[in-house]
Chains A and B, each alone.
Chain A
Amino acid sequence: MIEVRELTKRFGSIQAVSDLSFTIKDGEILGFLGPNGAGKTTTMRMLSGILPPTSGRAIVAGMDVIKNPIEVKRRIGYLPEQVPLYPELTVTEYLDFVGSIWKCGKKERDEVIEECGLSSVSQALIYRLSRGYRQRVGLAQALIHNPDVLILDEPTVGLDPQQIREIRDLIKSFEGKKTVILSTHILPEVSMTCQRVVIIHQGEIAAEGTPESLGKRIESGAQFEIEVQGPQEQIVKVLSSIQGVSRVNVLSQQQDANQKFTVETKGEDVRSEIAKAVIEHEWKLLTLKTHELTLEEVYVKVLTKEEAA
Chain B
Amino acid sequence: MNFKNVWIIWKKEVKIGFASPTAYAGFTVFLLISGWLFWAIVRYAAMSSISPLGMSHFDVMQFVFRPLFENLTLILLFLTPFLTMKLFSEEKRTRTIELLFSYPIGDLDLLLGKFLGAVTLLAFILLPTVLYPIFLQIKHLAQIQWPVLMIQYLGMFLMGGAFISVGAWISSLTENTAASFVVTLGVLLMFWMLSWGTNRFSTSKIARVLHHFSLLEHFTSFSTGVLSLSNLTFYLLFVLFFLYLTYQALQSRVWQGAKE
Given contacts A51-B253, A54-B259, A100-B8, contact A88 B102 (CB under 8 A): no
A27 at the interface (CB under 8 A from B): no
- Binary B-proximity of A85-119 (CB < 8 A = 1, otherwise 0): 11011000100011011100000000000000000
Contact A84 B99 (CB under 8 A): yes
Q: Chain B contacts of A211 at CB under 8 A?
A: none
Which residues of B65-108 are within 8 A (CB) of A? Answer: 94-99, 101-105
Contact B102 A48 (CB under 8 A): yes
Which residues of A57-105 are within 8 A (CB) of B? Answer: 69-70, 73-74, 76, 78, 80, 82, 84-86, 88-89, 93, 97-98, 100-102
Contact B98 A52 (CB under 8 A): no
Q: How far is the CB of B172 from chain A (nearest CB, A)?
A: 16
CA of A38 to CA of B101, assembled, Å: 23
CA of A78 to CA of B15, assembled, Å: 24
Q: How far is the CB of A154 from chain B (nearest CB, A)?
A: 13
Contact B102 A54 (CB under 8 A): no
B11 at the interface (CB under 8 A from A): yes
Which of the listed residues A10, A76, A86 has the most CB atoms from chain B within 10 Å of its own CB? A86
Interface of B is mostly: helix
Contact B95 A82 (CB under 8 A): yes
Closest to A55 in B: B259
B16 at the interface (CB under 8 A from A): yes
Contact B103 A80 (CB under 8 A): no
Q: Chain B contacts of A93 at CB under 8 A?
A: 15
Interface residue total, chain A, C-beta cutoff 8 A: 32
Closest to B109 in A: A101
CA of A142 to CA of B102, assembled, Å: 10
Q: How far is the CB of A222 from chain B (nearest CB, A)?
A: 46
Q: How far is the CB of A10 from chain B (nearest CB, A)?
A: 6
Q: Chain B contacts of A12 at CB under 8 A?
A: 257
Q: Chain B contacts of A100 at CB under 8 A?
A: 8, 11
- Binary B-proximity of A211-242 (CB < 8 A = 1, otherwise 0): 00000000000000000000000000000000
Contact A10 B260 (CB under 8 A): yes
Q: Chain A contacts of B94 at CB under 8 A?
A: 82, 84-85
Contact B102 A97 (CB under 8 A): no
Given contacts A51-B253, A97-B12, contact A73 B99 (CB under 8 A): no
Contact B20 A88 (CB under 8 A): yes
CA of A98 to CA of B253, assembled, Å: 22
Given contacts A12-B257, A97-B8, A97-B11, contact A50 B101 (CB under 8 A): yes
CA of A102 to CA of B5, assembled, Å: 10
Q: How far is the CB of B171 from chain A (nearest CB, A)?
A: 16
A49 at the interface (CB under 8 A from B): yes
B19 at the interface (CB under 8 A from A): yes
Q: Chain B contacts of A73 at CB under 8 A?
A: 102-104
Contact A141 B99 (CB under 8 A): yes
CA of A254 to CA of B6, assembled, Å: 73
Contact A101 B98 (CB under 8 A): no
Q: Chain B contacts of A98 at CB under 8 A?
A: 103
A136 at the interface (CB under 8 A from B): no
Which of the listed residues B103, B253, B258 has the most CB atoms from chain A within 10 Å of its own CB? B103
A50-B253, A78-B99 are known contacts; what are 12 more A-B pairs with Cβ within 8 Å?
Answer: A10-B260, A12-B257, A49-B102, A50-B98, A54-B260, A80-B95, A80-B98, A80-B99, A84-B94, A84-B99, A85-B96, A97-B15
The 4 closest A-B pairs by CB, nearest first: A88-B19, A84-B95, A84-B96, A78-B102
Residues on A lying within 8 angstroms of B by beta carbon are 9-12, 45, 48-54, 69-70, 73-74, 76, 78, 80, 82, 84-86, 88-89, 93, 97-98, 100-102, 141
Residues on B lying within 8 angstroms of A by beta carbon are 5, 8, 11-12, 15-16, 19-20, 94-99, 101-105, 253-254, 256-260
A selection of 27 A-B contacts at a CB cut-off of 8 Å is A10-B257, A11-B256, A11-B257, A45-B98, A49-B101, A50-B102, A50-B253, A54-B257, A54-B258, A54-B259, A70-B104, A73-B102, A78-B99, A80-B98, A82-B95, A84-B94, A84-B97, A84-B99, A85-B96, A88-B15, A89-B15, A89-B16, A89-B19, A97-B8, A97-B15, A101-B105, A102-B103
